[in-house]
Structure 1
Amino acid sequence: MAKVEFRNIKKSFGDVDVVKQFDFTVNDGEFVVFLGPSGCGKSTTLRMLAGLEDITSGDIYVGDRLMNKIDAKDRDLAMVFQSYALYPHMTVYENIAFALKLKGLSKRDIDVEVRKAATMLELTPLLDRKPKELSGGQRQRVAMGRAMVRTPKVFLFDEPLSNLDAKLRGSMREEIKELHRKLQTTTIYVTHDQIEAMTLADRIVILKDGYVAQVGTPTEVFKRPANKFVAQFIGNPSMNMLDAHLIDVEGEYYIELGGIRIPLPERFKALASKNIALHFGVRPTDIHLRAEQVDHDRVVPIGVTIRDKELLGASILLKTEIEGQPLMVETQAAELDVDNVTLYLDLDAIHLFDALSENSLAS
């Protein structure tokens, strides 16, 4: 195990800057997820650490060892790819054992390590099969087993579940989490799937356009997004985002959404003397159909008409609008028969962002 340090990392392909600025430290034994949309630089950053891409500038350390000029095979890292990358002519046993053979281990030691990994990943009955005889989930477990037996300093996962169906992704997430719990190996996991990030990570690094948009625990990035991008990228359904501005009514400040006035919460009082355009954010789950669903009295009633309904299973998504701006509410499916309703906004759960910088304005 080892900590991983990225120091002022940049990566360009010709005139295109893919990773523009990346400074971050992964602690020893930590599970960190790099999360972001396609093209944000997350996989490129991982590949630079693995030695599969050259670094344009900056330094990468694993423990106290500078990695920049070290060949990929000598970095003592194990990578699990999206495409599995198994040898089709080898059995499961041979695929897992291959790296150990290259190390020159004895047949007895190889057998011990392969069977230990196979037991942990429930692959023992499959050891004599070829990859073509396995399901997608089984192939991914073989790829994980091949990485495990190397006992690397760091595990690297590059979107390993993207090729699996939803049910398999769920079970594989559990297996990866349990694997990390048992091995406690430093792990960096790349994905564009926020569910994977929220369920697996100790900390999440959210990237956008080659920069770090926010770093935090799953709870922190969900409840206290640093900017509008993070607020809308994390959470499904996405956070409602409406144009708004501040008004002063006899010394009291309000957020105005069209003709609706919402008292300015205490944590935004520093805005009171500023005249800035705002984005008003609230998650669909923080809007309620009954005031008593909020465990305090800091609620604001808003009358709306339900324009459309989308059944999500255990819940329903109500599509409404405020002064022409769309507003979505997620509530229990039992309340499907509502039409014209009064909504209750939880003031403790609203977010405000500067319309120019898009950064959070919470103190």
Structure 2
Amino acid sequence: MARVEFRNIQKSFGNVDVVKHFNFTVQDGEFVVFLGPSGCGKSTTLRMLAGLESISSGDIYVGDKLINKVDAKDRDLAMVFQSYALYPHMTVYENIAFALKLKGMKKADIDVEVRKAAKMLELEPLLDRKPKALSGGQRQRVAMGRAMVRTPKVFLFDEPLSNLDAKLRGVMREEIKQLHRKLKTTTIYVTHDQIEAMTLADRIVILKDGYVAQVGTPTEVFQRPENKFVAQFIGNPSMNMLDAKLSSAGHEFLVELGDVAIPLPDRFKAHASKNLALHLGIRPTDVHLRAEHIDHDRVLPITVKVIDKELLGASILLRTEIAGQPLMVETQSAEVMQDELTLYLDLDAIHLFDALSENSLAS
């Protein structure tokens, strides 16, 4: 195991900067997820660590060793790819054993390591099969086994579950989590899937356009997003984002949302200024049809126009409108849809972002 440190990493392809001033440290034994949309630089950063991409500037350390100019094969890292990258002419056993053979390990020792990994990943009945005779999930477990037997300092996963169906992704997420608990190897995992990030990570690095938008635990990035991008990227359905304005009445600040005026919660007052243009964010699950379970002091009734409703299975997504702006509401109530509804905002759950900088007023 080892700590991984990125120091002011930058990567450019021609005139296009795809990773910009990336500074981050993965602690020894930590499971970190790089999360973001396509093109944000997450896979490129992983590939620079693996030695598959050159670094335009900056330094990468594994443990106390600078690895910028170390060959990929000598970095003692093991990478699991989205495409599995198995040798089609080799059996499962031979695929897992291949890296150990290249190291010159004795045949008996190879056999011990391969069978130990196969047992952990439930691949023992499949050792004589070739990849074409395996399911997608089985192939991914073989790729993981091949990485495991190398006992690397760091595991790297580059969107390893993208080719699997939804049910199998859930199974494989749990297997990867259990694997990390057993081995406690430093792990960096790249994905665009927020469910994978939220369920697997000790910490999440959210990337946007080559920059770090926020770093935090799954709870921190969900409950306390530092900017509008993170607020809307994390959570499904996405957070509602409504245009609003900050005004003052005497010594009190009010958030104006059309005809609705919301007293400014204390946590935002340090960065409040009159006539500030805002984005008011609230998650669909924090807008309620009833207010019995919310303290009277922190609930605000609002009247909305109901546009449509969508059955999500266990819940219903109401498409409503307030002050001419769309407001999504997720509820488990099966009440008959009306043209207008009185809903209740949990004021403890609202987020406010400066419309110009898009940073949270609570930061």
TM range (shorter): over 0.9
Q: What corresponds to 2:103 in structure 1?
A: 103
Letter in 2 for 1:166: A
In percent, how many aligned pairs have the same letter?
A: 85
* Comparing 327-336 and 169-178, the one that deviates more: 327-336
- Answer yes or no: is the 8 Å Cα contact 1:311–1:333 preserved in 2: no
- Answer yes or no: is the 8 Å Cα contact 1:38–1:192 preserved in 2: yes
1:32 and 1:267 mapped to 2: Cα distance? 29
Using the TM superposition, give the Cα deviation of residue 304 of structure 1 relative to its aligned residue in structure 2, in angstroms.
1.3
Cα 1:295–1:132 change in 2 (3 A) is farther
Whether 1:132 and 2:125 are equivalent positions in the alignment is no
Letter in 2 for 1:63: G
SS of residue paired to 1:307: strand
Letter in 1 for 2:175: E
- Answer yes or no: is the 8 Å Cα contact 1:316–1:336 preserved in 2: no
Output one character per residue of 1:173-220: Cα deviation in whole Å (capped at 9) or x when no partner.
Answer: 000000000000000000000000000000000000000000000000
- Answer yes or no: is the 8 Å Cα contact 1:11–1:55 preserved in 2: yes
Using the TM superposition, give the Cα deviation of residue 336 of structure 1 relative to its aligned residue in structure 2, in angstroms.
5.5
Using the TM superposition, give the Cα deviation of residue 248 of structure 1 relative to its aligned residue in structure 2, in angstroms.
1.6
Q: What corresponds to 2:244 in structure 1?
A: 244
Whether 1:193 and 2:193 are equivalent positions in the alignment is yes
- Answer yes or no: is the 8 Å Cα contact 1:313–1:333 preserved in 2: no
Q: What corresponds to 1:3 in structure 2?
A: 3
Using the TM superposition, give the Cα deviation of residue 223 of structure 1 relative to its aligned residue in structure 2, in angstroms.
0.3
Letter in 1 for 2:108: R
Structure 2 matches for 1:137-286, cutoff 5 A?
137-286=137-286
For normalisation by structure 2, the TM-score amounts to 0.98
Letter in 1 for 2:87: Y
- Answer yes or no: is the 8 Å Cα contact 1:255–1:264 preserved in 2: yes
1:319 and 1:206 mapped to 2: Cα distance? 28
Unmatched segments (≥5 aa) in structure 2: none
Whether 1:90 and 2:85 are equivalent positions in the alignment is no
SS of residue paired to 2:189: strand
* Comparing 289-298 and 51-60, the one that deviates more: 289-298
SS of residue paired to 1:291: coil
For normalisation by structure 1, the TM-score amounts to 0.98
2:296 and 2:62 mapped to 1: Cα distance? 48
SS of residue paired to 2:334: helix
Using the TM superposition, give the Cα deviation of residue 275 of structure 1 relative to its aligned residue in structure 2, in angstroms.
3.2
2:336 and 2:209 mapped to 1: Cα distance? 40
- Answer yes or no: is the 8 Å Cα contact 1:314–1:333 preserved in 2: no
Using the TM superposition, give the Cα deviation of residue 274 of structure 1 relative to its aligned residue in structure 2, in angstroms.
3.9
1:336 and 1:312 mapped to 2: Cα distance? 16
Output one character per residue of 1:311-356: Cα deviation in whole Å (capped at 9) or x when no partner.
Answer: 1111111000111110000110434545531110000010000101
